[in-house]
Chain A
């Protein structure tokens, strides 16, 4: 059974740093396209970042230069390092797996974790 379990959220002051973790089971993180998606309180979904199976990484403009996505293959775990946090980064952060679409390209998000809440406030 595929499972994704996030951790690491909490209350952090503006300008601070936090690292989120997403432990996966039932599949191999390094063989898949993995993403972080966030949802501000009462708002819609916003894609944050993706890491490809080959290791390439991409970011939304809103977090570029501040957030870093990575993975630990030995732990089958995805990470999101968040630096220079701002109030507008307050959200539930989900990790999600992208299914393979046509020609092996990344497709829709077929599995999601339960999310971890990050609150940026003084």
Chain B
């Protein structure tokens, strides 16, 4: 099983500042990596797929980078609606067995 590890577990940032979230895979997942945002009581929302491609309707302040085992989600200027939990997910392995990171909670400082 590919283990996904996110850091930090909690990130406190002020509105308008930049947030950088990390995700590490226990083995290479190439660019088969996605990021999701989840707010309380809601389903996850796809932000980034293919490690760096924004999903439809996602603002340009969200960007993803990395390949192999190290990935980063950057939110360039935090808005109030961005405070949520963020998950990374790999979808690289065969037979299929997607795995998620444990999540990073982005909270208002």
Contact of B46 among A47, A102, A108 (CB under 8 A): A108
Q: Is B52's CB within 8 Å of the partner chain A? A: no
Structural contact, A114 and B43, CB atoms closer than 8 A: yes
Structural contact, A108 and B100, CB atoms closer than 8 A: no
Describe B's contact surface by its main secondary structure.
Answer: loop
Structural contact, B49 and A107, CB atoms closer than 8 A: yes
Describe A's contact surface by its main secondary structure.
Answer: strand
**Residues of A contacting B45 with CB < 8 Å?**
112
Interface residue tally on B, bucketed by range: 20 to 34
Give the complex CA separation of A60 and B38 in angstroms.
22
Closest to B30 in A: A102
The smallest C-beta distance from B8 to any residue of chain A, in angstroms, reads 15
Task: Check A45/B44 contact, CB under 8 A, given A101-B32, A106-B96.
Answer: yes
**Residues of B contacting A109 with CB < 8 Å?**
34, 36, 44, 46, 89
**Residues of B contacting A106 with CB < 8 Å?**
91, 96
**Residues of B contacting A99 with CB < 8 Å?**
46, 49
User: Which 4 A-B pairs give the minimum distances between C-beta atoms?
Assistant: A108-B34, A108-B49, A112-B43, A47-B98
**Residues of A contacting B46 with CB < 8 Å?**
99, 108-110
**Residues of B contacting A114 with CB < 8 Å?**
42-43
Give the complex CA separation of A45 and B85 in angstroms.
11
Q: Is B102's CB within 8 Å of the partner chain A? A: yes
**Residues of A contacting B95 with CB < 8 Å?**
58
Give the complex CA separation of A35 and B47 in angstroms.
18
The smallest C-beta distance from B70 to any residue of chain A, in angstroms, reads 18
**Residues of B contacting A72 with CB < 8 Å?**
none
Structural contact, A47 and B49, CB atoms closer than 8 A: no
